[in-house]
Amino acid sequence: MHLALELLVLAFGTASYAVGARDILVRGYAPSVFSRVVWLLLAVISCAGVVASGSGSGAVLLAVVFLVGNALICLLSVWKGTRGIGRLEYVCLAILVVSAVVWLVFDAPVVSLVISLLAHLVGGAPTYRRAWQRPGSESAGFWSLFLVASVFSLLASLGEPTQSLVFPLYFVLFDGGMTVLALRRGR
């Protein structure tokens, strides 16, 4: 059962980033290069935090998919993205620096992970606002597929130490909200 859940995390997580890559290559979505670099750094520290905190394989697999997917989107944004830098990217980068410092000084990977997820939430606020105002501006496919991967990761993490639940639970909530907003297209 556990292996089946992990395979579902891998399948749905990979499919999510395949949709994201298609949106860039075919549909003309042009993410900010600097934003995507910040998201990639966030994915690196989140993945490292999940692994170092002793999280179970379901959470680790989701974090690895998150890291590889963000690396792909970052690479595509260098090719097809915009070059704008906003204040929010600097704020997220500052929060990530705090996350890394907390880890290095206090040897607290779980706290560092939570701080990096805070950076993700702050960075995602404009996306939430845009999806609220214009639901069709967001890819329901991208968000819903990673939501499903996160649910399977959470299920695979049940019964493991609490830190195993932090990463998948955050993405169930974050991507669940984005999915609901993106699916409001007809309203």
Distance in angstroms (rounded) separating the CA atoms of residues 143 and 179? 5
In-domain check, residue 161: yes
In-domain check, residue 187: no
Burial class (CB in 10 A: 0-12, 13-18, 19+), 55: buried
The pLDDT, as a whole number, for residue 27 is 85
Tell me which residue range forms the domain holding 98.
2-182
Burial class (CB in 10 A: 0-12, 13-18, 19+), 15: middle
In-domain check, residue 37: yes
In-domain check, residue 132: yes
In-domain check, residue 40: yes
The rounded average pLDDT for each run of 10 residues, N- to C-terminus, in the chain (187 residues) is 95 97 89 87 96 95 98 93 84 94 95 96 89 88 96 96 95 96 75
In-domain check, residue 169: yes
Give the count of domains, the chain.
Answer: 1
Contact 59/13 with Cβ under 8 angstroms? no
Q: Provide the 3-class DSSP secondary structure of residue 32.
A: strand
For the stretch 97-123, pLDDT in tens is 999 999 999 999 999 999 999 999 998
In-domain check, residue 47: yes
Q: What angle do CA 7, 12, 59 make, to 5 degrees?
A: 60
In-domain check, residue 135: yes
